[in-house]
Each structure stands twice: as structure tokens, then as C-alpha cells.
């Protein structure tokens, strides 16, 4: 089932436990059951988080919650449009950066930033390597020390007790130790 994203318009009534109960419409439930159904929605429907009625109008109240799949599809479309716009204007963007670099009136910091942007886009950024050292918390070491590893349990289970014929429980306190 899909997730639901809350819109910040109206607060949800909360129970004492902190959980909230929201009634959702049939169409919202359909989206939760089939997240791919939002691919057929237009941009306005995605923005509002609900479908138009059969007359092509938005009637009724806006939903309190919107399926996360509506939001994801809306963002996917917006990023796709932005990428197309960037591709269409890439040459002009490169020209603008080279003009800033060649400009006598631009400050050095602006020239350096424009050059760095151009280099990063043409040659690609150098990968950043991050080294992380994590010290194990003391309580975790204590817990791990008290846990019996799996192989010992397997050895105990495979032990051959076929030579034991009979056994008797003896009260240790009744025995006298010399």
C-alpha cells in the first residue's frame, strides 16, 4: 500500500496515543492501492492531490492528506521539465559563464566560481572520499560479550548422548565435599 503525505492546511485530530485518524475518499484509496494510477493525472490534479470530477471541475473540499505517490509524480515531472529546459539552454549557460570568466569588470571570486562551475559540468566533479570512524558504545560490547555465538549452540545440538543409559538428578547440597 502507498504512503500518505499530510498537507499543512488543517491539523489532524489526534487521539491520546498520538495517532490520528483521517477519512480518505475512494479515489485517494485507489491511489494507495495502485500508485501507478497517478501517472495519468494532469499537473493541476497532482498539485491539488485529487482528481477532477466527470465535468472536469474540482468540487468539494481539498483533501487533508495526499498520497505520497502524487507528490513523487509531481516532483518527477517538474524535474523532467527542468532538465529539458537546461538541455535547451545549455549552450547559452556555457556562454554566460565564459563571458563572466573573460569579463574585465567581474570580481575574481565570481570568475573563479564561474570557472569552477564550468569545469565541474564539463569534466565532472572529483569524487569526495569520506572516512568515518565509529567507536563502539560500551553497552554494545557488554551485550555482545553475553551473547552465545551460533556455532557453540550447533555443537551442543550435535553432541552424541547415545552412550548415556540413565541419569539421576542429585541434590548438590546433600553431597558432602571433602
pLDDT at 133: 77
Give the residue with greater pLDDT, 43 vs 125. Answer: 43
pLDDT band, residue 13 (cuts 50/70/90): confident
* Distance separating alpha carbons of residues 178 and 172, to the nearest angstrom: 13
pLDDT at 42: 92
Distance CA 39, CA 73 (A): 7
What is the biggest distance separating any 2 CA atoms in the chain, rounded to whole angstroms? 103
**pTM for the whole thing?**
0.50
Helix (H, G, I), strand (E, B) or coil at 14: strand
- HSE (CB half, 13 Å, CA atoms) of 116? 7
Decide: helix, strand or coil at residue 167: coil
* Backbone dihedral angles phi then psi of residue 144, each to the nearest 5 degrees: -65, -30
Q: Indicate if the pLDDT at residue 147 is higher than 80.
A: no
Chain segment 16-48, per-residue pLDDT in tens = 887 877 778 788 888 888 888 889 999 999 888
* Strand locations in the chain (E): 4-6, 65-67
Amino acid at each position: 500500500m502507498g504512503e500518505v503525505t499530510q498537507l499543512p492546511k488543517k491539523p489532524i485530530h489526534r487521539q491520546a496515543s498520538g495517532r490520528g485518524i483521517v477519512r480518505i475518499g475512494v479515489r485517494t484509496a485507489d491511489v494507495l492501492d495502485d500508485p501507478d494510477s497517478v501517472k495519468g493525472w494532469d499537473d493541476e490534479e497532482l498539485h491539488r492531490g485529487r482528481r477532477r470530477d466527470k465535468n472536469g471541475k474540482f468540487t468539494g473540499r481539498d483533501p487533508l492528506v495526499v498520497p505520497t505517490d502524487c507528490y513523487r509524480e509531481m516532483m518527477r515531472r517538474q524535474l523532467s521539465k527542468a532538465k529539458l529546459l537546461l538541455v535547451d539552454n545549455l549552450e547559452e549557460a556555457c556562454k554566460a559563464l565564459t563571458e563572466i570568466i573573460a569579463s574585465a569588470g567581474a570580481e575574481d571570486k565570481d570568475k573563479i566560481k564561474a570557472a569552477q562551475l564550468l569545469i565541474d559540468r564539463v569534466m565532472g566533479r572529483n569524487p569526495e572520499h569520506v572516512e568515518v570512524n565509529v567507536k563502539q558504545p560500551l553497552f554494545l560490547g557488554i551485550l555482545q560479550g553475553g551473547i552465545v555465538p551460533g556455532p557453540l549452540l550447533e555443537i551442543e545440538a550435535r553432541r552424541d548422548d547415545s552412550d548415556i543409559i540413565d541419569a539421576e538428578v542429585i541434590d548438590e547440597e546433600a553431597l558432602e565435599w571433602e
